[in-house]
Structure 1
């Protein structure tokens, strides 16, 4: 089997040999140009309904439009579909239990196909976007949703109807009779007769509706105090689960970003996300609707184990005591622990398809994944349909925070056994558990398991894992009944996969450090793959790129090895040289892999730096993905501290092993990498000759709730964590040249972060700090001119303060 190896440029075997162009001829104009010159990554592959072809998307050169392609597996021929062909294309399909039918969504409408003859019926033709098609348990109906409303299409009759009508108001028939109304009825027989007639008509209408499936269902009156966040229909059509939140919930004040360059010629403001701690996420509740009996039942979360605990009790007590000593009794009272922790459910509105709700295929069982709003607990509970109650099946607790990844779960084909991912051992692993039984681990070890897919016959789980090494990802499979974990692909840079409808083949996206995602197909049992795409361009592949060398930097703080990518000349000598440390963004991401990097521009820039005499180190510092729970949790309540230790260890490793002058080391990065650049210069003055902080977080109190509260709790409850984790707290220690670069319409890390820190430097009479603002850029820069200007300034910074010998 062909393997994509790290050494040298990995290319497709069908590509012709290309003459290498020395990377020394690279320049910033080329590196930061529109990346269309590199090629296009294969995106969003999915199988045709009959499993004989694979569809995928490619970005169009010079445009953000994605074109749809179809590759026929028998011939290997790939074609771009014109608008007429797109109008007839399949979408990602679902199947009934007999595999007689397939259903998919095309341009927001639902289609039904009979697989035997290919006959296709358009089920909907609306201005709304329908989604989430699923077949009923008896294969007699096709169910789908429009917003939070569910519909059922009767395959025999060809009729579509709502399965439930939800009214978020009080039932007018159940309005209480006031004293005056009661007196009126008592006095006047005509009013009593009119009321009796109305009651009789309503009772008759209910009886007729109950006996006639051809009528629209009677509404469920759910009250005017709640709104729907999600709804999920059981495959047997009996039950509808409704996730709600209080209607009165307000997220809090929205800060603004200002568009100074606009179509109108006027400065225009735009709402951005709310700051952390301004208001907690809305608590959610569950309603179970019995569509057959027309009854509704609240599902209480009060019985979940640990839901009444306060995992923040010790921190709460310290903060309350400090507030009371300062005479801030009102603030202290506001931090009182709740009697019951609020929860929420990952909804389809967040992940596009059900998220934390999983029905068994026959509709007889329901599992719900709930998370505490304080981020410390995750529960998977089943539903007792007799008692209308939640039954806990699994609790995952983390003293730091529950990972937003590794929360996949569902049912085996028997509809009685749950499967789920859990980090309880320190690494994401796959488990199965029968209702009421004990959990069994299907995988175990010091590696991460993700993206489980159950085969059509229910015999196998297919998984993405980095079992060989933290930086190497491939598809493995394990029997659902337990057994050996077996490697299926051998790419080392495997980025995604999809099982064919019959479970016999895999469509695989794979990449390497200098090859974008490409599509291949192979047997689900393993074997030689067949490459289906070649989308790289000769202008890029012809260059002699420097292969990043994956190294292990020893931690001097007991953290073990810190994996990193090292870029250096092929023929190193004893001459001392300057170095640059690159810090990836997002905190919890992984850049040290054998696949294509999100930071591909930076990787080309690192090639340029090497040919200018530098060496470069790119580290997966603590908090990075791919190394288990403890590596992720190390930064809890102390962001910027373990990571800085790792970066300093990286510098020491460069000095010891690659003749780097310790006085000539620069550092740079964007987003979290920009934050860490500021922390490095401000908390370790003198260690770095200069730093460039791109779109950095300078004060975590200004960042969003979902990310920040996981790691630092809330600023009201845990102010110390915010103080020690925010660069602005250390502004007085600036002693080394710092370049700050920020997009003015960044609605993720807002420019106010950098501007506030800049003002602190002004007031502290600091020198050698600069700021470059980009009026038309958000967090992820989009325009080549901005990319070029940004990196021209970084290049000049390093050439001025890092490259020269001191």
Structure 2
């Protein structure tokens, strides 16, 4: 009788909890700021170490670091003549000028055009940078005297004293020659679009030159432009195994107009993922990567002659992971640089002499350095964040130059994203955990002392309580080779372990990705929370091939994308199905992009495990995807045809089982709509029934409040009807 009364009380508690829980609507996470997470953004640390500037309410405001209080408005866009809507800004090195971006218009994920203005903080005047056409990526020279920019695939600069505009290149042409910026595949896979660099003495400009004439074009049709006929948009997109752009690095001396080309050898089929100046204005640093991306050369080039020498070489049996290429840092002593490598099985920092001789390994252990934050020359300390506590967490560390004094600076469990001041006196810690949204806190580095809490996210914390959001619970699963997979679950607030629930597995699974972390939110978090309110368990898993676990765990998938990831998703499904509170006959899977590829593969090659699947913007055969990303993990189709075809949903279309929804944007410049069209044809030819939906003129992210509202509504209705 006592057990019965207790059981009734527990049941009553869950009923009361459920009734008190405010219900999430799709509007709450698409068109309304219900779950908006505030943060401290746009921080620009100023020179004297006592102030920073930030953009707020169309003003660039100067703040006192220690108090967090505004002390001066540097420029107010509403009072300028003409009035300017400030979208972004940059300060000159002497902090006497501000370059302002306005009226930007996107091209692809990172590229854009806009209008730039230069505001003089001394005489309070504003001038338009150029009146001869829109500009991109305006960048001040170190001495603050000039601004370089790109227009119509050519490189220019303006002398701010005279406002004279000079043209560095004149052969730029759409879909042919690009100067000072990047082609589509570099922008997407190497993550940058500004392809020019001022020398430290402001006398030279180094820049990329792409010849993409021989690259094949992809044709996007734009339908919803209010025109009688659709518009064709053709752009250069090198697919796996196809011809890439030819890339060169040029250096121009703006005092003499002399130009030299960096000597990078006779081979033309390579990549240049990064270029930066050393502290020597006559030495340019270039990183060269072979086509298969298993050899990376660090090259130093004489900026006056173009003569080059290889300083060090990284070779891998699989591929050189480029997630850490921005760690390369030249120390101010002019004698050393920091380079990161996975040579001991984990990503760590190494100190080299300028000639390329290894001085020492700075960090060691069975953990990954996540980010190198810099070297404090005065205190002789390196700062970095790592996974040493757990692959699920990120913490800030310092270590002395001699490697004898290592200190963990962040104490609270969870994930810490660090923004450090240029002089290393202060840092802002953006801390979050599975149970706590972001809290931004300012610390003084010396003594690691708290200065001020900048943002607590109190309104979001209140919303979390009001809506009764489900906490994350973590679990692990053993893969077939004994590897431990990390996963997390979201359960209904009124969860009853004596009942059985349907489960929807969400995964991304792409190389070096990570979805399971001790942090707040995550991809599609509030969509998943809404499903828990409707009685579903949502489970997430990081398969083999994902990141933060070392090189062996990550690179086991080399040359066979999808194989081990699918095994692990099925293993996870079987583990979940074995739990008493999960209905193994009602298991679903979904994902977006690489995750859409995996959910498509799970419903075909893994057919019979899942009752329902949703794939958004999936790759359906890696032959359709771009050269840089695909060949890094699979080699070329010419070298590894089976790796492409034996893990392709197209190959296994005839094995589709269960309800399946395929979604894609027709203007996806990244994962082309072609993937879904060809997959649909394969399913039709196999006699398989399925559901599909396309979003007209939407790119890979299927953006827009109304569009996202429609998308999530469709997915929620599909899950509820079929799982």
TM-score range, shorter chain: 0.7 to 0.9
Do the aligned partners of residues 719 and 562 (structure 1) sit closer, same or farther apart at CA in structure 2, a change above 3 Å counting?
same
Q: Displacement, 1:544?
A: 1.9
Mapping of residues 84-95 of structure 1, within 5 Å: 84=78, 91-93=89-91, 95=93
Q: Displacement, 1:727?
A: 0.6
Match for residue 133 of structure 1?
Answer: 140
Residues 379, 396 of structure 1: 8 Å contact kept = yes
Match for residue 696 of structure 1?
Answer: 618
Residues 31, 605 of structure 1: 8 Å contact kept = no
Match for residue 645 of structure 1?
Answer: 567
Counterpart check, 1:376 vs 2:266: no
Range with bigger deviation, 577-586 or 72-81: 72-81
Counterpart check, 1:34 vs 2:31: yes
- Give the 3-state SS of the residue equivalent to 1:711 in structure 2: helix
Residues 399, 406 of structure 2: 8 Å contact kept = yes
Mapping of residues 323-402 of structure 1, within 5 Å: 340=267, 342-346=269-273, 355-360=274-279, 362-363=280-281, 365-383=283-301, 389-402=307-320
Q: Displacement, 1:234?
A: 2.8
Q: Displacement, 1:593?
A: 1.7
For each residue in 1:31-60, what CA deviation from the matched residue of structure 2 results, as whole angstroms up to 9, or x when unmatched?
A: 5541422225433322345544444457x9
Do the aligned partners of residues 102 and 506 (structure 1) sit closer, same or farther apart at CA in structure 2, a change above 3 Å counting?
farther
For each residue in 1:91-131, what CA deviation from the matched residue of structure 2 results, as whole angstroms up to 9, or x when unmatched?
A: 554646xxxx6665334345677xxxx78787984345674
Do the aligned partners of residues 255 and 290 (structure 1) sit closer, same or farther apart at CA in structure 2, a change above 3 Å counting?
closer
Match for residue 403 of structure 1?
Answer: 321
Do the aligned partners of residues 69 and 36 (structure 1) sit closer, same or farther apart at CA in structure 2, a change above 3 Å counting?
farther
Q: Distance in 2 between matches of 1:124 and 1:461?
A: 41
Residues 288, 298 of structure 1: 8 Å contact kept = yes
Q: Displacement, 1:168?
A: 5.9
- Give the 3-state SS of the residue equivalent to 2:575 in structure 1: helix
Do the aligned partners of residues 407 and 552 (structure 1) sit closer, same or farther apart at CA in structure 2, a change above 3 Å counting?
same
Match for residue 777 of structure 1?
Answer: 698
Q: Distance in 2 between matches of 1:266 and 1:277?
A: 32
Q: Distance in 2 between matches of 1:547 and 1:228?
A: 47
Residues 149, 231 of structure 1: 8 Å contact kept = no
Counterpart check, 1:431 vs 2:353: no
TM-score w.r.t. structure 2 length?
A: 0.80
Mapping of residues 571-610 of structure 1, within 5 Å: 572-584=496-508, 588-599=512-523, 602-610=524-532
Do the aligned partners of residues 225 and 726 (structure 1) sit closer, same or farther apart at CA in structure 2, a change above 3 Å counting?
closer
Q: Displacement, 1:598?
A: 4.3
Match of 1:281 among 218, 235, 244: 244
For each residue in 1:607-645, what CA deviation from the matched residue of structure 2 results, as whole angstroms up to 9, or x when unmatched?
A: 333344432211112232322333332322212111111
Do the aligned partners of residues 370 and 597 (structure 1) sit closer, same or farther apart at CA in structure 2, a change above 3 Å counting?
farther
Match for residue 567 of structure 1?
Answer: 490
Residues 452, 462 of structure 1: 8 Å contact kept = yes
Do the aligned partners of residues 580 and 658 (structure 1) sit closer, same or farther apart at CA in structure 2, a change above 3 Å counting?
farther
Mapping of residues 107-506 of structure 1, within 5 Å: 107=101, 108-109=116-117, 125-127=129-131, 128=135, 131-135=138-142, 142=145, 144-147=147-150, 148-149=155-156, 166=168, 230-236=195-201, 240-246=205-211, 249-259=213-223, 261-264=224-227, 266-271=229-234, 274=237, 276-277=239-240, 279-287=242-250, 297-302=260-265, 340=267, 342-346=269-273, 355-360=274-279, 362-363=280-281, 365-383=283-301, 389-408=307-326, 409-436=328-355, 437-455=357-375, 457=377, 459-490=380-411, 492-494=413-415, 496-506=417-427
Q: Distance in 2 between matches of 1:718 and 1:614?
A: 40
Q: Displacement, 1:244?
A: 3.1
- Give the 3-state SS of the residue equivalent to 1:363 in structure 2: coil
Q: Distance in 2 between matches of 1:291 and 1:782?
A: 42
Q: Displacement, 1:441?
A: 1.5
Q: Distance in 1 between matches of 2:253 and 2:76?
A: 46
Q: What residue ranges of structure 2 are gaps of 5+ in the alignment?
A: 1-15, 102-115, 182-194
Residues 712, 721 of structure 1: 8 Å contact kept = yes
- Give the 3-state SS of the residue equivalent to 1:725 in structure 2: coil
- Give the 3-state SS of the residue equivalent to 2:217 in structure 1: coil
Residues 381, 390 of structure 1: 8 Å contact kept = yes
Match for residue 510 of structure 1?
Answer: 431
Do the aligned partners of residues 264 and 561 (structure 1) sit closer, same or farther apart at CA in structure 2, a change above 3 Å counting?
same
- Give the 3-state SS of the residue equivalent to 2:299 in structure 1: strand
Q: Displacement, 1:716?
A: 3.8
Q: Distance in 2 between matches of 1:142 and 1:514?
A: 49
- Give the 3-state SS of the residue equivalent to 1:471 in structure 2: coil
Residues 620, 676 of structure 2: 8 Å contact kept = yes
Q: Displacement, 1:298?
A: 4.2
Do the aligned partners of residues 385 and 639 (structure 1) sit closer, same or farther apart at CA in structure 2, a change above 3 Å counting?
closer
Residues 142, 202 of structure 2: 8 Å contact kept = no
Q: Distance in 1 between matches of 2:367 and 2:408?
A: 14
Counterpart check, 1:723 vs 2:723: no
Residues 508, 595 of structure 2: 8 Å contact kept = yes
Equivalent residue pairs, number: 656
For each residue in 1:264-315, what CA deviation from the matched residue of structure 2 results, as whole angstroms up to 9, or x when unmatched?
A: 465334336625137433232344556788765544333xxxxxxxxxxxxx
Q: Distance in 2 between matches of 1:627 and 1:420?
A: 20
For each residue in 1:228-273, what CA deviation from the matched residue of structure 2 results, as whole angstroms up to 9, or x when unmatched?
A: 6544343235655454344x733212122332x3334653343366
Residues 681, 736 of structure 1: 8 Å contact kept = yes
- Give the 3-state SS of the residue equivalent to 2:321 in structure 1: coil
Q: Displacement, 1:414?
A: 0.8
Do the aligned partners of residues 265 and 92 (structure 1) sit closer, same or farther apart at CA in structure 2, a change above 3 Å counting?
same
Q: Displacement, 1:721?
A: 1.9
Residues 491, 537 of structure 2: 8 Å contact kept = yes
Match for residue 212 of structure 1?
Answer: none
Q: Displacement, 1:412?
A: 0.4
TM-score w.r.t. structure 1 length?
A: 0.72
Residues 384, 398 of structure 2: 8 Å contact kept = yes
Mapping of residues 7-18 of structure 1, within 5 Å: none
Do the aligned partners of residues 456 and 468 (structure 1) sit closer, same or farther apart at CA in structure 2, a change above 3 Å counting?
closer
Do the aligned partners of residues 284 and 94 (structure 1) sit closer, same or farther apart at CA in structure 2, a change above 3 Å counting?
same
Q: Distance in 1 between matches of 2:79 and 2:18?
A: 40
Match for residue 42 of structure 2?
Answer: 44
- Give the 3-state SS of the residue equivalent to 1:232 in structure 2: strand
Do the aligned partners of residues 85 and 228 (structure 1) sit closer, same or farther apart at CA in structure 2, a change above 3 Å counting?
closer
- Give the 3-state SS of the residue equivalent to 1:678 in structure 2: helix
- Give the 3-state SS of the residue equivalent to 1:468 in structure 2: coil
Q: Displacement, 1:516?
A: 5.5
For each residue in 1:327-384, what CA deviation from the matched residue of structure 2 results, as whole angstroms up to 9, or x when unmatched?
A: xxxxxxxxxxxx84633323xxxxxxxx422221x52543222222332221112235
Residues 49, 92 of structure 1: 8 Å contact kept = no
- Give the 3-state SS of the residue equivalent to 2:324 in structure 1: coil
- Give the 3-state SS of the residue equivalent to 2:603 in structure 1: helix
Q: Displacement, 1:689?
A: 1.5
Range with bigger deviation, 590-599 or 231-240: 231-240
Range with bigger deviation, 568-577 or 639-648: 568-577
Match for residue 110 of structure 2?
Answer: none
Q: Distance in 2 between matches of 1:77 and 1:461?
A: 30
Quote the RMSD (CA, aligned, Å).
Answer: 3.8
Q: Distance in 1 between matches of 2:611 and 2:20?
A: 26
Do the aligned partners of residues 541 and 122 (structure 1) sit closer, same or farther apart at CA in structure 2, a change above 3 Å counting?
farther
Mapping of residues 609-620 of structure 1, within 5 Å: 609-620=531-542
Q: Distance in 2 between matches of 1:623 and 1:741?
A: 25
Q: Displacement, 1:731?
A: 0.3
Residues 611, 657 of structure 2: 8 Å contact kept = no
Q: Displacement, 1:396?
A: 1.5
